[in-house]
Structure 1
């Protein structure tokens, strides 16, 4: 039954360069349009962006999603791995770290995601032999509200993963950060990349899924914003965690390899030019498309895009998300940006909710 259901899902995702198997939520005339590498880099100079408002009730996302040229003006670079801007008192472990690095709940969620990936890859191998597999990397020129993907043809199959808090947990770095009670520091993170290879562990479930992928003939490729200059140490970290081998320039892509910044789309397109990328795995939306990192997208709009019908069909069906409450583009937004006004509640107080005198209260 599971395989039959997977086959139905796969058929919806395997018809060449087409939109996802649902109706887009906004007209393509207002889609986020991908431009070429040189054009993107030339547009990096400009004024600071303004936050786009969240859609009101009944309003689509058509007018809230900028074109790529618009978003590249002062575009937001995903934050480097690290910790929130501020920490509580020295020695106190932040709640996000308690959850991600210490809880059974986070372990269970990660194992669940990687088991889903393993089942999905097994189905792809079965049906892909019939020529049905296709890319899950958004085509250059596609948009979030009209996603398109290229057919694979004879390319070998591959799965592409982020590294930090997707494949490995940076226990050594985060323990040091919690002890210090200090904000993220790029120089300290670079030193961690260079010297902390033996202080990482695999994310629960990752080794199981990646071993199975390789056994099935699927190439495992890592795409990370770790620095290319620290490639040898990153290879060693992956090997120490039991997730290797990874070789820089072939199965390991790092920040600086494409000559650009923190965006990963150029690297994804380079990988997809030689492989049929049948799965993407990450802990940030930017691990699936740079378009999610448009600085002017309000948190509620970004959330609406991720859950829109056009993209909902991909989660667990080619795109696999891991939990990360510690750092990244997810951790932003004021109360007004996060909580809808029509969902606000104010405690009326005990007097308003207490039963009247003499009224019997039925025990629960």
Structure 2
């Protein structure tokens, strides 16, 4: 397979493009340049991620003791005796894919399913700061860790396994330091007919067997249904306010300025959404 990532971006390379030291380099004008640079270099990004997982750790004992505690709107009734579980998104929540984003910036391209599949097959994404220690810690407390990801169940053109991204993802999680990762605890988009990019149906399935005590993600859709289409930024903001007591207690969101439904819901031209001084 063609190795699209034969030369993964180093921090020094992308930083040099901001200085006069790299006069021979072409100018980069890509919407994701500053966003990707922030993820790869900013101490603030690292601190924000660690803060989210530390906050979750400080609430885990309370969540386990309180049998009425649930983080899932899909939970239903009679869940107090169900075993506890947490649900995490993977990309930009547990695994950091900024190297993939950076290569796209350098190449002047964007997301592409083929190159994304090649990146996943490399199994090289590092952890999002704080994720590994938290996940391994809650596993030791007897909490089931379940991943809902929009990595896809799709066959490769070389005739490989039907869901190759699943095993690639498991191997990457293990390489990143997660002590336990298996097919039963990872739910990919497309594994079942109703498992679309909308994650509600997968949360509903988990809620039948577990008391979901915490949710983790980098997108509003990792917590709430129907927030990715036919909705305005104002309506999304109102939903955040409606569930304000969940943030930092039951719901933990990681920063992702590079992509997500926050951007896809905006119609063009996006400049119309900018608000200047009034």
Classify the TM-score, shorter chain: 0.7 to 0.9
Q: For 2:133, which of 184, 204, 208 is the aligned residue?
A: 208
Give the secondary-structure state (helix, strand or coil) at the position aligned to 2:74. Answer: coil
Seen in structure 2, the aligned counterparts of structure 1 residues 208 and 231 have a Cα distance that, compared at 3 Å, is same
Alignment gaps of 5+ in structure 2: 1-26, 154-162
> Residue 116 of structure 2 aligns with which residue?
189
Aligned length: 237
1:110 matched to 2:49: yes
Structure 2 Cα separation of the partners of residues 335 and 300 of structure 1: 16
Structure 1 Cα separation of the partners of residues 272 and 234 of structure 2: 10
Deviates more, 1:266-275 or 1:325-334: 325-334
Give the secondary-structure state (helix, strand or coil) at the position aligned to 1:223. Answer: strand
Q: Does the 8 A contact of 2:36 with 2:102 survive in 1? A: no
Q: For 1:307, which of 241, 260, 277 is the aligned residue?
A: 241
Question: How far did 1:172 drift?
Answer: 3.6
Seen in structure 2, the aligned counterparts of structure 1 residues 92 and 133 have a Cα distance that, compared at 3 Å, is closer
Alignment gaps of 5+ in structure 1: 1-87, 141-148, 346-364
Q: Does the 8 A contact of 1:134 with 1:151 survive in 2? A: no
Superposed, which structure 2 residues align to 1:65-144 within 5 Å? 89=28, 94-125=33-64, 127-128=65-66, 132-139=67-74
Question: How far did 1:253 drift?
Answer: 0.8
Give the secondary-structure state (helix, strand or coil) at the position aligned to 1:290. Answer: coil
Q: Does the 8 A contact of 1:137 with 1:268 survive in 2? A: yes
Structure 1 Cα separation of the partners of residues 89 and 218 of structure 2: 8
> Residue 174 of structure 2 aligns with which residue?
239
Structure 2 Cα separation of the partners of residues 338 and 317 of structure 1: 31
Give the secondary-structure state (helix, strand or coil) at the position aligned to 1:292. Answer: coil
> Residue 150 of structure 2 aligns with which residue?
225
Q: Deviations over 1:258-284 (max 9, x none)?
A: 313211111111111111110000000
Structure 2 Cα separation of the partners of residues 135 and 113 of structure 1: 18
Seen in structure 2, the aligned counterparts of structure 1 residues 304 and 231 have a Cα distance that, compared at 3 Å, is same
Q: Deviations over 1:243-299 (max 9, x none)?
A: 242211x21111112313211111111111111110000000011122222x22111
> Residue 154 of structure 1 aligns with which residue?
81
Question: How far did 1:151 drift?
Answer: 4.4
> Residue 254 of structure 1 aligns with which residue?
188
Question: How far did 1:178 drift?
Answer: 2.4
Structure 2 Cα separation of the partners of residues 183 and 245 of structure 1: 32
Q: Does the 8 A contact of 2:198 with 2:225 survive in 1? A: yes
Q: Which one has the largest radius of gyration?
A: 1
Structure 2 Cα separation of the partners of residues 251 and 234 of structure 1: 11
Give the secondary-structure state (helix, strand or coil) at the position aligned to 2:257. Answer: coil
Seen in structure 2, the aligned counterparts of structure 1 residues 240 and 274 have a Cα distance that, compared at 3 Å, is same
Give the secondary-structure state (helix, strand or coil) at the position aligned to 2:187. Answer: strand
Seen in structure 2, the aligned counterparts of structure 1 residues 235 and 98 have a Cα distance that, compared at 3 Å, is same
RMSD, aligned CA = 2.2
Question: How far did 1:191 drift?
Answer: 2.1
